[in-house]
């Protein structure tokens, strides 16, 4: 069974490749290294003890993708490739619409032309917009996204559902991730952001390692238990295992399925800071800063559908997430080497 993993050199993709190899799948990875390094692929092989095929290719390169489908026997695709920075998407909307939407359309066209109709797609809790009240359920209204990145995820969900309506032979699994953090237990792979991190956990770990002076906590006047924003942090290995389960279902039955992948528990920014300090033994210098535009007070999942239908449940708690993030950062202070 051979699975094409687009964006497999990236943060979530690399962890998923390991779990796919551990589960006995053969994988073919495609990446253009826009936001990743070749070294992550070496470490996937090192940690899994298995070899796999890699193609440096952009998913918008139709000819290139077609050659890959002709050369390999691909049974299904897990599609991570895309751009993901909310702020950057506001500055460069056309790049985001082109990469994420045109890239996905190109990939689906090549899949269809080569008779491969099974795809697991990386969506995001951002598609719920700001009008729903947590816990968020898959049946809630989507849309009302507040930035081009979120809108690409929302639009791709619509494109995939129209594709399924046009041809019920497709198996499409849309996974809405909440906030992935943590790293592989070994500390050999993890999140390696370029420049100043946008997200909370990489910012905290960079303060802990001494690369940044102080964490800005974006707002302490939200309607939450301590006034800071509440999110559903999920260990990236739990997320990766969710993909293995979703893939198993997609391989066995056609359909369009949407699943939240979260823990169902919300933690505030200050809860995460405290948990990190406890797990690492390092004190985090922070100060309260103004709210970040576009942020909402609270966002956490109802993950019960994934448990009922996929038999998947997040197992790793916040301290383990923090300890694993810290192991990765402290043993790779500058991320992956070039
Ligand atoms: P990442 O940037 O680490 O990984 C994405 C990978 O895709 C990178 O290796 C990048 O080089 C590659 N890529 C980008 N555009 C490409 C293209 N046109 N052709 C080939 N390769 C390309 O990001 P991640 O955190 O691993 O996220 C993976 C997916 O999950 C993305 O689609 C992202 O939008 C989605 N997602 C991430 C989060 C999060 O918080 N990390 C939350 C929700 C959804
Ligand atoms: N935060 C800070 N300081 C920072 C960074 C973040 O206080 O330096 C706070 C935010 O205000 C928020 C929480 O930490 O309350 C989490 O922020 P992140 O940027 O880590 O994550 P978001 O929930 O804002 O965004 C994430 C992904 C998006 C995705 C969104 C919806 O980064 O891609 O979840 O699921 F769209």
Could you read off the pLDDT of 113-124 as tens digits, one per residue?
999 999 999 999
Active-site pick, 25, 149, 154, 259: 149
Model-level pTM greater than 0.95?
Answer: yes
Could you read off the pLDDT of 243-297 as tens digits, one per residue?
999 999 999 999 999 999 999 999 999 999 999 999 999 999 999 999 998 899 9
What residues line ligand 2, using a CB cutoff of 6 Å? 84, 86, 124-126, 150, 178-179, 198-200, 203, 215-218, 229, 231, 269, 292, 295
Whole-number mean pLDDT of the chain?
Answer: 97
* DSSP state at residue 284: P
3-state secondary structure of 309: helix
What's the pLDDT score for residue 338? 85
Answer whether 153's CB lies under 8 Å from 126's CB.
Answer: yes
| Percent with pLDDT over 90 in the chain | 97
What's the pLDDT score for residue 247? 98
Could you read off the pLDDT of 46-90 as tens digits, one per residue?
999 999 999 999 999 999 999 999 999 999 999 999 999 999 999
Q: How far is the CA of 295 from the centre of ligand 2 (A)?
A: 7
| Percent with pLDDT over 70 in the chain | 100
What's the pLDDT score for residue 98? 98
Nearest to 299 by CA among 251, 232, 219, 228: 232
Distance of alpha carbon 280 from its chain centroid, rounded?
24
- Helices of type H across the chain: 11-22, 39-48, 62-71, 86-91, 93-96, 103-113, 148-166, 200-208, 236-252, 269-280, 304-310, 318-331
What's the pLDDT score for residue 172? 98
Q: Which of 44, 59, 79, 84 to mutate to test the pocket of ligand 1 (most atoms within 8 A of CB)?
A: 84
What's the pLDDT score for residue 105? 98
Does the structure show a pLDDT above 90 at 14? yes
Could you read off the pLDDT of 173-213 as tens digits, one per residue?
999 999 999 999 999 999 999 999 999 999 999 999 999 99
């Amino acid at each position: 069974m051979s699975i094409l993993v687009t964006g497999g050199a990236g943060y979530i993709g690399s962890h998923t490749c390991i779990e796919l190899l551990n589960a006995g799948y053969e994988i073919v990875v495609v990446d253009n290294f826009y936001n990743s390094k070749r070294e992550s692929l070496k470490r996937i092989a090192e940690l899994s003890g298995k070899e796999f095929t890699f193609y440096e290719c952009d998913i918008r390169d139709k000819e290139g993708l077609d050659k890959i489908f002709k050369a390999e026997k691909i049974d299904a695709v897990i599609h991570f490739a895309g751009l993901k920075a909310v702020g950057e998407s506001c500055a460069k909307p056309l790049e985001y619409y082109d990469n994420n939407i045109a890239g996905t359309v190109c990939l689906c066209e090549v899949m269809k032309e080569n008779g491969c109709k099974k795809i697991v797609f990386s969506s995001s809790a951002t598609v719920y917009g700001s009008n729903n009240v947590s816990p968020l359920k898959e049946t809630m209204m989507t849309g009302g996204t507040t930035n081009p990145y979120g809108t690409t995820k929302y639009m791709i969900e619509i494109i995939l559902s129209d594709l399924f309506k046009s041809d019920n032979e497709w198996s499409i699994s849309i996974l809405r991730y909440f906030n992935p953090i943590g790293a592989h237990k070994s500390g050999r792979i993890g999140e390696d952001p370029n420049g100043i991190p946008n997200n909370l956990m990489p910012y905290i770990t960079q303060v802990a390692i001494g690369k940044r002076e102080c964490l800005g906590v974006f707002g302490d006047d939200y309607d939450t238990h301590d006034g800071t924003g509440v999110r559903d942090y999920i260990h990236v290995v739990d997320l990766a295992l969710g993909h293995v389960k979703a893939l198993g279902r997609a391989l066995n039955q056609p359909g369009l399925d949407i699943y939240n992948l979260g823990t169902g528990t919300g933690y505030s920014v200050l809860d995460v800071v405290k948990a990190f300090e406890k797990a690492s033994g390092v004190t985090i210098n922070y100060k309260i800063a103004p709210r970040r535009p576009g942020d909402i007070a609270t966002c956490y999942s109802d993950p019960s559908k994934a448990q009922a239908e996929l038999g998947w449940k997040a197992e790793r708690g916040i301290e383990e997430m923090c300890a694993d993030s810290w192991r990765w950062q402290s043993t790779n202070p500058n991320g992956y080497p070039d």
